[in-house]
Amino acid sequence: MRDLDVLFRRIADEEDALRTADPATERLVRRLAPLSARPRPSVRVWALLAASLGVLGVVLGVVLVQRRATLAVTVGGGTPLVGTWLGAPDAKPLPLDFSDGSRFELAAKSRGRVVALERATARVELASGLMRVHVVPRGMIGWQIDAGKFGVRITGTRFDVRYQPDGEVLELSVEEGQVELSGCVFGRARKLAAGQRVRASCQTGELHIGYRDSAPSVAEAPRLPPAVAAAPSEPPAVAPLEPKATGGRDAAPGAAPPPLSWLALAKAGKYADAYAAAQRDGFEAECAKGTPEALAMLADVARHAGAPRRAEQALLALRKRFPGTPDAALAAFALGRLEFDEYRAYPAAANWFRAYLKERPGGPMTREALGRLLEALHRAGDNVGARAVAERYLRDYPSGPHAELASRVVPSR
């Protein structure tokens, strides 16, 4: 803004000087004289100009028509009817290729359909099984996946999603980008970022969200036992953390039930209430006794409650109490995201992303950590460091989500 202020002030001074030095008539004659001295365009020039404008109009018309065109989908080279159920074979997947470059792949024995294709929205339904999703981030299409009572809103990302009708279980793992989950145990829309996994059930009220790379993948996650799936009336399998009352007798009839623990509230998707409960029970005490999984969820609760410093406290406690573990490395990655997204502290963010890459070389978040490190160094103005990271990124992930930035950073490209 300072450069613009100087520029505008200079222009204003020059105009004031011109207005003071010259009479209006002379100034008008001086401005019109060059115009009158110019030769008039010939008929041929006008014809060429008209032809150029016509070509430009045709090009713009084609672009606008393409932008208004409805998204198309093909399955195995053919065009399926919208609303028709599609079943993948027993031994191989069934890809759904969309005209914008996005692909939804039904794994073997899975079932789904395209519900709607419009100019601005596209809806796909997963009835059962596993679907691998890659949505191209064009910003023109609003993608939505329906799976039972769950909804998944997509921007540009890669993820795997599995739905089991028996037990109404949703399992989702984000590889890159982010998704927004709704319905059932999620309450209001709940965002999931790269590296996070979720397992939720409408029937049992189960909700588990974490970064644990040691957890089974979506494709390998075990199904709920039949006894659990067949008992929708059972309460959620979440035990409150508060100790039971002692004294040798039961609570008086009609007495108010004990308050739910922050962990139970978090698993129910009530993040504001969960944070308030953690504050009530003693946030420091929870950091001192929680498991790695509980500490990761506590940090997530604090972040969604708008308390990034508390989230940082929980993640630092995880790293201090469980050093050298995969969970500690993932906490370093999460701390890097906090510094980058919440505080715009790019040098500090770069240090945390470096910590993850050092502690978990070849880990599941290597590409994402390397890309975020590149972006942090670039924004911090560390051109030398950014160039080295960009060269490594292009070598290892030439088609990754940060490849475009890496190509701009490397001078030879």
Residues 183, 111: one domain? yes
Q: What is the pLDDT of residue 75?
A: 84
Q: Give pLDDT tens digits for 128-175.
A: 999 999 888 765 568 899 998 888 988 768 889 999 988 889 999 888
Residues 202, 90: one domain? yes
DSSP state of 215: S
| 398: in domain | yes
Question: Rg of the Cα trace of the chain?
Answer: 29
The residue ranking higher by pLDDT, 127 or 176, is: 127
CA dist 314 and 196 (Å) reads: 17
Number of structural domains in the chain: 2
The boundaries of the domain holding residue 83 are 73-229
DSSP state of 151: E
Residues 290, 385: one domain? yes
Where is 75: in which H helix or E strand?
Answer: strand 73-75
Q: What is the pLDDT of residue 383?
A: 93
| 252: in domain | no
Residues 225, 340: one domain? no
Residues 81, 219: one domain? yes
Residues 207, 335: one domain? no
| 171: in domain | yes
Bridge partners of 133?
Answer: 104, 159
pTM for the model stands at 0.52
Q: Give pLDDT tens digits for 253-305.
A: 555 566 788 888 887 778 888 899 999 989 999 999 999 989 988 998 898 88
Where is 200: in which H helix or E strand?
Answer: strand 197-201
Residue 147 · residue 161 · CB < 8 Å: yes
Mean pLDDT across the chain, nearest whole number? Answer: 75
Residues 283, 156: one domain? no
Can you give the CATH number for the domain in which 279 is found? Answer: 1.25.40.10
Last residue of a domain, one of 229, 244, 273: 229
Q: What is the pLDDT of residue 282?
A: 93
| 216: in domain | yes
Residue 74's CB is within 10 A of a number of other CB atoms, namely: 13
| 97: in domain | yes
